[in-house]
């Protein structure tokens, strides 16, 4: 053999050097062209191969070339045995012996690299094992996990070849076009998955040659590549038009689609984010092309066919990096295309980095015809083999993904944000006013109480002064309702003690069965919002018939009605101590109700709120009322007078006034607002009509961070991971929050990095705003959907783990019960266009009940679902037996109650 001569003539080795990029400067540590070979014949569309230490590719048509990526000093290994051009090459999965298989129309040969090198050292010609002859044009080869079987894609068939007996075990037929790729399922070795030019994928059992699953047509162009990810049990495939699909291979998921991505749009979004993060330097795509570039046709848009897929290992490179990808979110994917390499994040479905071949002028290949990649675990680098689309060049590239991320990502500057405060309240802070006022307020109340003894007051109507004209018995009878109020306070104290008596366990089975149905509203009145109290004993809801209702959490008894609004109630919110209930209506008023006395305590009208209020809540452990009105976030301090003056009862003494008004950047309307009220926190999160997210630091009274283009549509809900008094979470989990927008799924964000860490897209949401909620344990996210189901996602997975059926129309709101002992249970609210009356359904877990010796407030694993126009329905999952007249539901996860906003359809 003339291996050394061929190496010296055809191979050009390049030393590590600085390669100029289009961004200016030098980025030689990003990509290095390790070798360049000029083949006698062009090989634009062939299967290339990369392993941990070697790369293989066809040379001069019918020769197999193997190059050692770890030790380039070793001579190039050229293997001959084919008479026709090689079309597919693949490496085995076992390290010893390392096998390689090559295929051409005349034969399929398996080689052992160790034996071939020994033969060459002995001066002999290495020979491989012929597994088959005249099998047609082979487009793809793949070894089984134990290297005993080779899947060979020839025409419309998949041939399973036995490497020991050299025979064909089975032929898998069913595709309507040439099979372009096939992969084995590593955790189920008898399963093989194939994609074809017929634009579908199939799942086979190659032991008996049966078809397990046949997908529908996915795209208008052929599927070219395929990858099976063992860690997340997912299937990734891409087509010739730059479309990417991710499917779940988890048992009982039925090969559901996790996400679908358009790489061209993803690349445009990535370029936009990069330009906004660094406006001083424009990327190459935004510059006007020169005359030389126009002559070459570089301004022509290049498609992004998915030529190859490979796992991207970032664990080593990001171990000491800050501000790039978080260590918990390093599941990425290399996508090889004709224009470059793309790093795709499998958690948030976004591009993390893009390496365009044309951006590195010293790279010999600008447009690739074939591509193969492999991540190196030893040094954290990746190796890529390319063949030229137009030409005979074959190149090997060494890419540093960490350097690529460092070059293209915009790290977080300054001190990272956190929901948990790290410093005391500043004297100039708006929050300092509330602290000082709350500490001085009791003293001002006590002084008038001392002077009231000597002040002249009427004797007839005052309850504490006995008139000489009346006996004591009628007085006791007349003011007996006040005695009941005192008893209510005692019961509330008992509830408060039991509120912290027992912490709920996180691990337990979810509720599954429907147990109670309760009519809530008659006619076409829709429930717009619902929320559980902090102790889980009561449930408040606002309806379109201008009422706010409070139920017992187990949906028994008569609800308490709070009338007074002149419009639909859009928001209800409990105070931290459970004494007050806040409601916001379309009539422009904000009202605070006494949950004990069942009466109005405070009303903020249009004189203080000239623009409609979108969101409102108690804030800073009930010290303030936080609301959004138009483009502003307003912080109100309030005083509720609990003392009754029987003479001037028509003149309320409760009052409220704005402390600070913070406008959003760009003066856009605030669509959603969220802040923590269970503990002291300075941060307030807002969403604007222009699809931005903005965080305000009320300790300094200004904006702290802005996230542009958070969704493709305006965010209609922000949900923070606030935890629960019944469960404990790690402190860093409180910095997570989720946002949702119509037709754009759910995005999970981290305040410390201001990055989208994960996306959830398994539910159907195209028209109606569907609500979201965190579980008290912080392990799950639940949401509603338009396919009449409520979905529950696990935080570590992008596909849902439970889908709860039983609804009759779109589920638009979900929430979790804070006091459920099992941890999670889903809830939803939806709109029913057929039913004419509102009703409430209670669902419990049939097998397990609460411990008789312990008291946990509220129903076990309560889940509430509210139904919008023309009627309302609530479903609650819990742990008591199922009633005979209701159907069992599919399993969910633990303890949830419904929350969300409904919409009255015209």
Listed residue (360, 387, 322, 330) closest to 56, CA to CA? 387
Question: Residues of 293-319 as b/e, b for ≥16 C-beta within 10 angstroms?
Answer: eeeeeeeeebebbbbbbbbbbbebbbe
Q: Given this model, what pLDDT does residue 412 score?
A: 53
Q: Quick: pLDDT tens for 735-746.
A: 999 999 999 999
Which letter does DSSP use for residue 442 in this model?
H
Q: What is the spatial distance between Cα 867 and Cα 860, in angstroms, rounded to a whole number?
A: 22
Least confident of 200-209, 325-334, 451-460: 451-460
Residue 647 predicted with pLDDT over 70: no
- pLDDT of 855: 33
E strand intervals along 249-392: 257-262, 308-313, 331-336, 340-345, 351-356, 368-375, 382-388
Considering 188-192, 316-320, 465-469, the range whose residues carry the highest mean pLDDT is: 188-192
Whole-number CA gyration radius for the chain: 34
Per-residue pLDDT tens digits for 297-343: 444 456 799 999 999 877 655 544 444 455 555 689 999 999 999 99
Which pairs count as long-range contacts for 645-654, CB under 8 Å and 24+ apart, including other chains?
646/461, 646/462, 646/463, 647/458, 647/461, 652/602, 652/603, 654/592, 654/601, 654/602
Task: Tell whether the model's pLDDT for residue 195 goes beyond 70.
Answer: yes
Least confident of 21-25, 109-113, 666-670, 867-871: 21-25
3 state SS of 627:
strand
For residues 805-834, b (16+ Cβ closer than 10 Å) or e, as one string? ebbebbbbbbbbbbbbbbbbbbbbbbbbee
Measure Cα distances from 179 to 100, 154, 176, 791 in Å: 21, 7, 9, 35
Per-residue pLDDT for 826 more than 90? no
Q: Token pair 């001083």 is at which residue?
A: 280
Q: How far apart are CA 172 and CA 89, in angstroms?
A: 21
pLDDT at 3: 35
Per-residue pLDDT at 157: 94
Quick one: which of 675, 770, 677 has its CA closest to 724?
A: 677
**pLDDT tens readout for residues 709-741:** 999 999 999 999 998 888 888 898 999 999 999
DSSP annotation string for 592-603: EEETTTTEEEEE
- Give 894's pLDDT tier (boundaries 50, 70, 90): very low
Measured CA to CA in angstroms, residue 880 lies from 804, 842, 862 at distances of 18, 10, 10
Q: Which tokens sit at 813?
A: 């709101």
CA 127 – CA 115 distance, rounded (Å): 9
- What pLDDT shows up at residue 396? 92
Mean pLDDT, the chain, integer: 77
**β strands within 826-871, DSSP E:** 830-831, 839-844, 867-868
- Kind of pairing, strands 179-185 and 188-196? antiparallel
Cα separation values, 17 from 8, 27, 31, 362, Å: 21, 9, 10, 10
What is the DSSP annotation of 479-501?
A: THHHHHHHHHHHHHHHHHHHHTT
Find the helix or strand (DSSP H, E) in which 686 lies: strand 683-688
Query: How high is the pLDDT of residue 434?
Result: 57
For a pLDDT cut of 70, what percent of the chain falls above it?
A: 71
Lowest mean pLDDT among 239-253, 470-484, 502-516, 807-821: 470-484
Question: Residue 205 — very low, low, confident or very high, per pLDDT cuts 50/70/90?
Answer: very high
Are 771 and 901 a contacting pair, CB within 8 Å? yes
Strand 839-844 with 873-876, pairing: parallel
Closest CA to 737 of 729, 725, 746, 745: 746
Distances (CA, A) of 547 to 86, 526, 527, 562, 581: 76, 11, 9, 6, 13
More confident position, 598 or 326: 598
CB atoms under 10 Å from CB of 204, counted, come to 25
Least reliable range by pLDDT among 133-142, 527-536, 574-583: 527-536
Q: Who has greater pLDDT, 706 or 122?
A: 706
What DSSP string runs through 35-82?
EEEE-SS--SS-B-EE-SSEEEEEETTTEEEEEESS-TTSPPEEEE--
Handedness of CA 355, 358, 364, 366 (dihedral sign): positive
Q: Of 490-504, 563-577, 638-652, which one has max mean pLDDT?
A: 563-577
Give the list of residues 6+ apart from residue 169 with CB closer than 8 angstroms, or none. Answer: 149, 160, 161, 162, 206
Cα angle 268, 271, 275 (rounded to 5 degrees) comes to: 140
- Each residue's pLDDT tens digit, 355-383: 999 888 888 999 999 999 998 766 778 99
Q: What is the pLDDT of residue 616?
A: 94
| Predicted confidence (pLDDT) at residue 862 exceeds the cutoff of 60 | no
pLDDT at 890: 34
Per-residue confidence (pLDDT) for residue 591, from 0 to 100? 93
Q: Where are the alpha helices (DSSP H) in 339-383?
A: none
CB of 180 closer than 8 Å to CB of 196: yes
| Cβ 850 vs Cβ 844: under 8 Å | no
**What pLDDT, on the 0 to 100 scale, is given for residue 820?**
62
The 3-state DSSP class for residue 198 equals coil
Cβ partners under 8 Å of residue 799, min gap 6: 248, 250, 253, 256, 258, 760, 762, 793
Q: What is the DSSP string of 230-246?
A: TTTTEEEEEETTSEEEE
Torsion of Cα atoms, 725 then 727 then 728 then 730, to 10°: -110
Say if residues 728 and 537 touch (Cβ distance below 8 Å): no
- Whether the CB-CB separation of 639 and 655 falls below 8 Å is answered with yes
pLDDT above 60 (res 504) = no
Cα distances (Å, whole numbers) of residue 235 to 246, 536, 553 = 6, 41, 43
The model's confidence at residue 203, banded by pLDDT at 50, 70 and 90, is very high
Contact 684, 676 (CB under 8 A): no
Q: Assign 883 a pLDDT band (cuts: 50, 70, 90).
A: very low
Helix (H), strand (E) at residue 407:
helix 401-408
pTM for the complete prediction? 0.79
- Work out the pLDDT band at 240, boundaries 50, 70, 90: very high
Sheet holding 149-154, edge to edge: 138-143, 149-154, 157-162, 168-173
Model confidence band, residue 512 (pLDDT cutoffs 50, 70, 90): low
598 backbone φψ class: left, alpha, beta (φ>0; ψ -120 to 50):
left
Window from 129-133, 792-796, 813-817 with minimum mean pLDDT: 813-817
Task: State how far the Cα of 309 lies from the Cα of 439, in Å rounded to an integer.
Answer: 63
| Closest by Cα among 731, 637, 631 to 686 | 631
Please report which helix (H) or strand (E) contains residue 142, including its range: strand 138-143
Q: What per-residue confidence (pLDDT) applies to 6?
A: 37
Tokens at 716, concatenated: 């209609």
Number of residues in the chain: 906
CB 332 within 8 A of CB 346: yes
Instruction: Give residue 438's pLDDT.
Output: 39
Nearest CA-CA partner of 776 in 732, 719, 829, 820:
820
Per-residue pLDDT band at 193 (split at 50, 70, 90) = very high
Collect all residues with Cβ–Cβ distance below 8 Å to 152 and sequence separation of at least 6.
Answer: 88, 103, 108, 132, 135, 138, 140, 141, 158, 159, 160, 161
Q: In the block, which residue shows the tokens 């990272």?
A: 416
The pLDDT of 18-40, averaged and rounded, is 64
Confidence of residue 700 (pLDDT cuts 50, 70, 90): very high
Supply the pLDDT for residue 142: 95
pLDDT value at position 302? 62
């Amino acid at each position: 053999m003339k291996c050394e001569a061929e190496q010296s003539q055809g191979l050009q080795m390049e030393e590590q050097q600085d390669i100029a990029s289009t961004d200016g400067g030098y980025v030689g540590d990003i990509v290095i062209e390790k070798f360049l070979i000029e083949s006698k014949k062009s090989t634009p569309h062939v299967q290339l191969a990369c392993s941990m230490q070697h790369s293989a590719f066809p040379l001069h048509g019918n020769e197999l070339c193997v190059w050692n990526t770890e030790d380039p000093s070793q001579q190039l290994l050229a293997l001959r045995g084919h008479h026709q051009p090689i079309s597919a090459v693949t490496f085995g999965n076992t390290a010893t012996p390392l096998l390689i298989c090559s295929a051409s129309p005349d034969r399929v040969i398996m080689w052992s690299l160790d034996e071939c090198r020994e033969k060459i050292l002995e001066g002999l010609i290495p020979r491989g094992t012929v597994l088959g002859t005249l099998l047609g044009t082979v487009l793809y080869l793949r070894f089984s996990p134990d290297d005993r079987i080779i899947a060979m894609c020839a025409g419309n068939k998949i041939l399973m070849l036995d490497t020991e007996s050299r025979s064909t075990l089975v032929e898998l037929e069913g595709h309507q076009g040439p099979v372009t790729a096939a992969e084995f399922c590593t955790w189920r070795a008898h399963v093989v998955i194939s994609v074809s030019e017929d634009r579908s994928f199939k799942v086979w059992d190659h032991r008996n040659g049966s078809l397990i699953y046949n997908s529908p047509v996915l795209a208008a162009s052929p599927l070219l590549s395929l990858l099976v990810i063992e860690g997340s049990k997912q299937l990734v495939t891409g087509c010739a038009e730059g479309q990417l699909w991710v499917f779940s291979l988890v048992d009982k998921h039925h090969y559901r689609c996790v996400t679908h991505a358009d790489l061209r749009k993803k690349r445009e979004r990535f370029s936009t984010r990069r330009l906004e993060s660094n406006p001083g330097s424009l990327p190459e795509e935004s510059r006007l092309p020169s005359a030389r570039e126009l002559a070459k046709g570089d301004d022509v848009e290049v498609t992004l066919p998915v030529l190859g897929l490979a796992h991207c290992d970032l664990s080593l490179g990001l171990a000491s990096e800050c501000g790039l990808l978080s260590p918990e979110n390093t599941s990425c994917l290399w996508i090889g295309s004709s224009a470059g390499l793309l790093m795709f994040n499998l958690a948030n479905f976004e591009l993390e980095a893009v390496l365009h071949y044309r951006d590195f002028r010293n790279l010999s290949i600008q447009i690739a015809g074939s591509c193969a990649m492999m991540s190196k675990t030893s040094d954290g680098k990746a190796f890529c083999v390319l063949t030229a689309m137009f030409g005979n060049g074959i190149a090997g590239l060494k890419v540093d993904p960490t350097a690529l991320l460092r070059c293209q990502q915009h790290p977080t500057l300054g001190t990272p944000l956190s929901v948990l405060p790290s410093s005391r309240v500043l004297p100039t802070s708006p929050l300092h006013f509330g602290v000082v006022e709350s500490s001085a307020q009791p003293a001002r109340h006590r002084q008038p109480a001392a002077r009231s003894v000597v002040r002249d007051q009427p004797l007839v109507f005052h309850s504490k002064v006995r008139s000489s004209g009346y006996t004591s018995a009628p007085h006791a009878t007349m003011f007996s309702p006040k005695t009941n109020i005192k008893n209510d306070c005692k019961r509330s104290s008992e509830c408060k003690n039991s509120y912290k008596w027992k912490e709920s366990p996180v691990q337990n089975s979810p509720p599954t069965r429907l147990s109670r149905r309760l009519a809530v509203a008659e006619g076409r009145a829709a429930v717009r919002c619902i929320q559980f109290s902090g102790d889980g004993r009561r449930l408040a809801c606002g309806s379109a018939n201008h009422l706010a209702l409070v139920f017992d959490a187990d949906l028994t008894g008569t609800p308490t009605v709070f009338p007074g609004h002149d419009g639909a109630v859009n928001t209800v919110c409990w105070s931290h101590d459970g004494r007050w209930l806040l409601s916001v209506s379309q009539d422009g008023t904000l009202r605070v109700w006494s949950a004990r006395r069942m009466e109005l305590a405070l009303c903020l009208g249009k004189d203080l709120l000239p623009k409609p209020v979108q969101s409102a809540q108690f804030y800073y452990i009930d010290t303030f009322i936080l609301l959004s009105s138009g483009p502003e976030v307003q912080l109100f301090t309030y005083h509720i007078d609990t003392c009754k003056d029987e003479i001037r009862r028509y003149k309320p003494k409760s009052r409220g006034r704005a402390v600070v008004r913070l406008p959003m950047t760009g003066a856009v309307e605030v669509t959603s607002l969220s802040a923590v009220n269970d503990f002291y926190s300075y941060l307030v999160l807002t969403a604007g009509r222009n699809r931005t997210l903005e965080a305000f630091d009320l300790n300094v009274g200004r904006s702290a961070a802005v996230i542009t283009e958070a969704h493709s549509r305006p965010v209609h809900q922000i949900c923070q991971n606030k935890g629960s008094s019944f469960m404990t979470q790690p402190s860093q989990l409180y910095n997570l929050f989720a946002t949702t927008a119509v037709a754009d799924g759910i995005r999970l964000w981290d305040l410390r990095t201001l990055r989208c860490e994960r996306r959830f897209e398994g539910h159907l949401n195209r028209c109606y705003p569907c609500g979201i909620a965190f579980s008290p344990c912080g392990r799950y996210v639940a949401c509603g959907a338009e396919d009449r189901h409520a979905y529950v996602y696990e935080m570590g997975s992008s596909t849902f783990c439970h889908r709860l059926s039983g609804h009759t129309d779109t589920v638009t709101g979900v929430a979790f019960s804070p006091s459920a002992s099992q941890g999670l249970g889903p809830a939803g609210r939806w709109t029913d266009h057929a039913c004419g009356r509102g009703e409430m359904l209670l669902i419990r877990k049939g097998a397990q009940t609460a411990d008789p010796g312990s008291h946990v407030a509220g129903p076990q694993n309560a889940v509430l679902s509210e139904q919008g126009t023309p009627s309302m329905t609530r479903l609650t999952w819990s742990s008591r037996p199922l009633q005979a007249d209701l159907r069992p539901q599919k399993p969910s996860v633990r303890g949830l109650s419904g929350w969300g906003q409904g919409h009255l359809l015209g």
